[in-house]
Chains A and B, each alone.
Chain A
């Protein structure tokens, strides 16, 4: 039993069984590595890798005047539905005309919410903030074969023309509802699958089986951070 309130991602047990090394970040037990860093990086750069990034902050903001609120995070281009933008260190995606999804680094969603809340205060119309960090898992598929693997699980067209970097689509992945975000790590294609927490373990295992021939390698959060900074 844990003595301190510990936050566990839905992949915690699977990662533990796979021999992952864990780190504590903002109360989260996160799988930092599954294999030596060089192996994980090579897998992501040459084939495809799967990472559990469920601890990333996730926030839904909704309302008819939501666009004004979002501007509090920085100068953002006008986003069409399905388009995203970086507002470093956060990423913002427009899901509907009146709804945005915000991805933050671990533990920063609270501060973002406060910032947006302040921006929403003067507005008359209803703005709703829903933190979904705990309710949604976030699995990342990274690497040149990530799209190939996704095409075995999802009917969307993952070609660059149709699904460019910083875009969002909602679809079925392995028969589960997922919000799919394209968030390349430098030149490396990367897709975040954001879906129900309860289905995440199933999805993780299904992806690992589906990508066996590529081959797929589970990687830790540390490798994702390294790839982000390459």
Chain B
């Protein structure tokens, strides 16, 4: 039977079309604009899911996206709130937390043993015997949690957006709208956020209207009639958008669907409204018990009657309006119970005229029914602890609760606001508003529509004035508000009275916890997990405070409130992650590498070819013929100015003042503790121009390090530019390198004209290049730097020119072997955060006799005292065994674990195809390192293997080949 009503004045569904969707295997029809919950309510489906702990049937309660009662699984997405999720054609919706089915859930049997499952039972029950914990864990993990994660769920696109405004208004109800319009009128740039799809707040479904509100609606529409994507509008409205939290300096985070907003505001107007609160009575979680505002939403926005026979429980005017609305919609109202002894408003007369029984001074003791509401037991106030002869059972299928409100003050708390309990209103009210924050509307206790509009206008004007637009509003006194919240929110009872719908915490649970000593509100929260579920305390915090106060015989003020923390609503991890953004740097030759079999490896942000299929053949090509490697990733710095030699003298450990134009020199850069930071070569390419290469990984850090010194007093006569990206760089290495180079230029590149450690600006294949003769690989080699845009052309041209000489591209792996054969270090691999050049056996690059340089003092001390460890080469006794890099070097010591003492470690190791043996570099105590041939032991896969110390390069120790 359909519960759909005739078209309503303000409904948001489109009855001209229909959509079909599935819920729990059944097909249902809905209208565009329906939510999953409204469509199911129209189809007379009461139960949407099962509760977390006791698997009790749960149906719609708030219809506003606040409570956990309607969490469902939509396709692969779990914990979707059915009351706010628009229904879509073909959607597959399943209830959560049910086994085997929604209507017959065997897990509901847990309720039979509920006395063994009080709050906090998991802290006490499963800790002994300890060996059974894996068994407990297995079952608990299966029983806990909501929904089903499907690992094969396709990726969704998430993103983030940064927004800026003078004034951010949070809440699109009457006060928020009024604030936004007022702030815009004063010239401020305003962002308005509301979690509902349309502006209006409660006026959308309560149908209250005023001339002033109509004007503001019109102004809002005019101010924001530019589409949201029009960047320069004064007012941007963001609906279906929830502000998740407030951080220092009005830094807000918001979420809209799959987008995270990061918002910076100069001033914030909090007009977040209030949450309607449930009442604590027996069986207060049965499907068919709805908050009054939920009833109105269903009636007016979706044209759905939530029941046929209703009982309304109220403590305010809103409840009477709900009753009148139900009557107007054709729902039979069987009783209205008001805790007050009498009341005057326009609806009371309507209800009385319709001959609806009215119970003044009454409330509800219990709801009856198993899977849904069958009746309501009304009882007079004060409520007797046990059933009374005055109790009246009214058969019904709907209980509407309009008994209390609590301000939506979470963001205000986060912003540093304070609230105090007002006995007269039976609600918390702000009593301290921090600077840059303004408050208006229900969150401030202002429920009256005209007053809320006025207060909103004042807040908007004041916020705009705070940001420098216009003048603040003069203070005015608003009319006093009648009390809207009950002081009788806890009704004595015998059955389950649910305080926390998220975690199935009952009033009795809380009383037990308090009796156990968890009597402070913060402790109670942590112990019971109340307010820590999907509702984040929206429907339970206020009632918890009341109950805690009563149990402790304290006042509400003495009891206090819990801390409000972000996020205000559950947020998907995908939203927090946003779009995948992992920067990758490509050299100008990247595509060629990929197309020619390069196996790419990650090196910092860069992708580099590790090899092209056969690294041994690549090593042999360099040793025997010629090879070409892409070293565009090298850091490249350009120094200009007369002050450069002095600067280089200060930042490098060797001397630079006398380096002649056209010469290249290797240098080690240390920090002021003498620790090696980086190394590289510097070429003097002009009288006042120097070109430096640093390690690929050090490009940015060295640039920033040197910049720091330049800006700290060493910048006189020096300009520094990072030109890493501007030049592609290749190393042409091997005995045939000169022959290949010569085919590309008419310049004389003979050993006499272009000797080792010299630099030349040459034109190669019509491309302007800077060529340095270096020897990292131990062969005759030229490092060719050219403008990056010519990189691919020159690379291909060199390979073509080298074809006749057997040229072969080589990758990082071959380069590592080649440099290891020469015992050249790699900073960061062979050195660490404690390595100095003396210990690294590079004392030849430290000139202590120059004026002053970074690390001079510690290096002088180390030179004088001698290092404790040294970096040396080693060969293996069994030349076929290659120890892994990082392995420990040990010696026997009965006092150490395993009887072995760690005395060093391997930093580099490879099998050398040139020498046909394993070689490496390692750190050893000086006593072992000093004498070549000294044996030592490496612990490898639990076994001990023998190696011996080697001094100097393994290959071409005299350096004949690279100088040739």
State the Cβ distance, A191 to closest chain B Cβ, in Å.
12
Q: B723 touches which one: A130, A154, A212 (CB < 8 A)?
A: A130
Which residues on the A side are within 8 Å of B160 (C-beta)? 152
B605-646 interface with A by 8 A CB criterion: 605-606, 632, 638, 640-642
- Please determine whether A28 and B719 come into contact, CB atoms closer than 8 angstroms: no
Distance (whole angstroms) from the CB of B564 to the closest CB of chain A: 26
**Which listed segment binds A: B50-58, B83-91, B583-591?**
B583-591
B638 nearest in chain A by CB position: A130
Q: Which residue, B232, B583, B605, B787, has most C-beta atoms of chain A within 10 A?
A: B583
Chain B CB within 8 A of A67 CB: no
Let me know if A161 is at the binding interface, CB within 8 A: yes
Best-buried of B579, B606, B789 by chain A (most CB within 10 Å): B789
B792–chain A nearest beta-carbon distance, Å: 6
Selected interface stretch from B106-114, B161-169, B512-520, B905-913: B161-169
Contacts known (A1-B796, A10-B588); A174 close to B767, Cβ less than 8 A: no
CA distance A131 to B723 in the complex (A): 9
| Residue with the greatest number of chain B CB neighbours at <10 A, chosen from A7, A132, A189 | A7
What distance in Å separates the Cβ of B255 from its nearest Cβ neighbour in chain A?
14
Residues of chain B within 8 A (CB-CB) of A145 are 229, 231
Query: A1-B797, A198-B587, A210-B159 given as contacts; is B581 within 8 A of A126 (CB)?
Result: no
- Asked if A170 is at the interface of the complex by the 8 Å CB criterion, the answer is no
A208 and B164 alpha carbons, distance in the complex (Å): 24
Complex: A121 Cα to B605 Cα, angstroms: 40
How far, in angstroms, from A89 to B724 measured CA to CA in the complex? 28
Q: A161-B189, A201-B586 are in contact. Are A128 and B789 (CB under 8 A)?
A: no
Interface positions, chain A 162-219, Cβ under 8 Å from B, are 162, 174-176, 189, 196-199, 201-203, 206, 209-210, 212, 214
Beyond A8-B588, A10-B586, A206-B579, whether A212 also contacts B157 by CB under 8 A is yes
Q: Is the CB of B162 within 8 A of A155?
A: yes
With A2-B796, A152-B159, A202-B584 as given contacts, are A135 and B788 in contact (CB-CB < 8 Å)? yes
Q: Closest chain A residue to B163 by CB distance?
A: A151
A132 and B159 contacting across the interface, CB-CB below 8 Å: no
Per-residue contact bits, chain B 764-795, to A (CB 8 Å; 1 contact, 0 not)? 01110000000000000000000111111110
Residues of B within 8 A of A162 (CB): 164
With contacts A10-B586, A212-B157 known, is A147 near B725, CB below 8 A? Answer: no
On whether the beta carbons of B585 and A196 are closer than 8 Å, the reply is: yes
- With a cutoff of 8 Å between Cβ atoms, the chain A residues found around residue B164 in the complex are 157, 159, 162
> Which residues of chain A have C-beta atoms less than 8 A from B162's C-beta?
151-152, 154-157
| Chain B CB within 8 A of A108 CB | no
Contact residues in B for A158 (Cβ distance below 8 Å): 231
Specify the chain B residue showing the minimal Cβ separation from A1.
B796
Q: A5-B793, A126-B719, A144-B230 are in contact. Are A134 and B727 (CB under 8 A)?
A: yes
Q: Is residue A50 contacting chain B, with contact meaning CB distance below 8 A? A: no
Contacts of B789 in A (CB 8 A): 7-9, 28, 133-134
Interface Cβ pair total, 8 Å cutoff: 140
Q: Least Cβ distance of A108 to chain B in Å? A: 16
Report whether B642 and A206 are in contact in the complex, using a CB–CB cutoff of 8 Å: no
Q: What CA separation (Å) do A126 and B647 show in the bound complex?
A: 15
CB distance from B486 to the nearest CB of A (A): 46
Residues of B within 8 A of A6 (CB): 790, 792-793
Name the interface residues of B788-832: CB closer than 8 Å to any CB of A. Answer: 788-794, 796-797, 800
> How many angstroms from the CA of A156 to the CA of B719 in the assembled complex?
29
Bound form: Cα–Cα A63–B719 in Å: 8
Bound Cα distance A202, B584 (Å) = 6
The smallest C-beta distance from B910 to any residue of chain A, in angstroms, reads: 28
Select A132's contact among B163, B726, B797, beta carbons within 8 Å: B726
Contact with B583, one of A1, A7, A28, A202 (Cβ below 8 angstroms): A202
Interface residues of A in 40-88 (CB under 8 A from B): 60, 62-63
Identify which of residues 120-147 in chain A touch chain B, using a CB-to-CB cut-off of 8 Å: 126, 128, 130-136, 144-145, 147
Task: List the B side residues contacting A151 at CB < 8 Å.
Answer: 161-163
Interface residue? B933 (CB, 8 A):
no
Question: Which chain A residues lie closer than 8 Å to B264 at the CB level?
Answer: 157
Q: Name the A residues within 8 Å of B932 (CB-CB).
A: none
Residues in A with CB closer than 8 Å to B606 are 198
Candidates A13, A28, A134; contact of B788 at CB < 8 Å: A134
With both chains docked as a complex, state the minimum distance between the C-beta of A153 and any C-beta of chain B, in angstroms.
8
Is the beta-carbon distance between A159 and B232 smaller than 8 angstroms? yes
Contact of B641 among A128, A148, A175, A214 (CB under 8 A): A128
Task: Enumerate chain B residues within 8 angstroms of A156, measured Cβ to Cβ.
Answer: 162
For residues 661 through 698 of chain B, which have their beta carbon under 8 Å from a beta carbon of chain A?
688
Interface residue? B939 (CB, 8 A): no
| A135 engages B189 (CB within 8 Å) | no
List chain B residues, Cβ under 8 A from A28.
789
Within the complex, the shortest CB–CB distance from B232 to chain A, in Å, comes to 5
Pair A198/B163 contact, Cβ less than 8 Å: no
Q: Contact partner of A199 among B159, B232, B583, B765, CB < 8 A?
A: B583
A13 touches B591 (CB 8 A): yes
Residues of A within 8 A of B800 (CB): 1
B721, CB-defined interface residue at 8 Å: yes
Minimal Cβ-Cβ distance residue in A for B722: A135
**How long is the Cα–Cα vector from A80 to B162 in the complex, in angstroms?**
26
Tell me whether B717 is interfacial, beta carbon within 8 Å.
yes
B640-A196 in contact (CB<8A)? no
CB distance from A99 to the nearest CB of B (A): 9
CA gap between A189 and B157 in the complex, in Å = 26
Q: Is the CB of A126 within 8 A of B642?
A: yes
Q: Which residues of A contact B765 (CB under 8 A)?
A: 5
Determine whether the beta carbon of B641 is less than 8 Å from that of A126: yes
Q: Is the CB of B583 within 8 A of A210?
A: no
8 Å CB contact of A155 from B229, B262, B688, B791 = B262
Residues of B584-603 contacting chain A, CB below 8 A: 584-588, 591
From residue A15, how far is it (CB to closest CB) to chain B in Å? 12
Q: A1-36, CB under 8 A of B: which get 1 and which 0?
A: 110111111100100000000000000100000000
Question: A residues within 8 A CB of B584?
Answer: 199, 201-202
Q: A1-B797, A28-B789, A148-B231 are in contact. Are A134 and B581 (CB under 8 A)?
A: no
> Taking the nearest CB of chain B, how far is it from the CB of A205, in angstroms?
9
CB distance from A68 to the nearest CB of B (A): 16
Contact assessment for B725 and A136 in the assembled complex, using a CB-CB cutoff below 8 Å:
yes
Q: In this complex, what residue of B is CB-closest to A47? A: B229
Partner of B727, one of A135, A147, A157, A196: A135
Residues of A within 8 A of B727 (CB): 134-135
Q: Which residues of B contact A202 (CB under 8 A)?
A: 583-586
Question: Given that A152-B159, A155-B162 are known contacts, is A175 also in contact with B586, CB under 8 Å in the complex?
Answer: no
Alpha-carbon distance between A161 and B642 when the two chains are bound, in angstroms: 43
Asked if A135 and B157 sit within 8 Å, CB to CB, the answer is no
Cα of A157 to Cα of B165 in the assembled complex, Å = 9
Q: Is the CB of B262 within 8 A of A135?
A: no
Compute how far the CA of A14 lies from the CA of B329 in the bound complex, rounded to whole angstroms. 62
Q: Are A128 and B585 in contact (CB under 8 A)?
A: no
Within the complex, the shortest CB–CB distance from A113 to chain B, in Å, comes to 14
Please give, as numbers and ranges, the residues of chain B lying within 8 Å of A131 by CB-CB distance.
726
A206–B606 alpha-carbon span in the complex (Å): 17
Once bound together, how far apart are the Cα atoms of A128 and B583, in whole Å? 30
Given contacts A7-B787, A174-B583, contact A135 B725 (CB under 8 A): yes
Chain A CB count within 10 A is highest, among B230, B579, B581, for B581
Contact B585 A175 (CB under 8 A): no
Of all chain A residues, the one with the shortest Cβ separation from B789 is A7
**Quick check: B579 and A62 within 8 Å, CB to CB?**
no
Residue contacts A-B, CB under 8 angstroms, 17 given: A5-B767, A7-B789, A10-B586, A10-B588, A126-B688, A128-B640, A135-B724, A136-B725, A152-B579, A155-B262, A157-B164, A162-B164, A197-B588, A197-B725, A198-B605, A202-B586, A209-B579
Given contacts A152-B161, A198-B585, A206-B581, 11 further A-B contacts (CB under 8 A): A1-B796, A7-B790, A8-B793, A128-B719, A134-B787, A175-B581, A189-B231, A197-B588, A199-B584, A201-B586, A210-B159
Question: What are the 5 closest A-B residue pairs judged by CB atoms, nearest first?
Answer: A135-B726, A198-B585, A7-B789, A157-B164, A135-B725
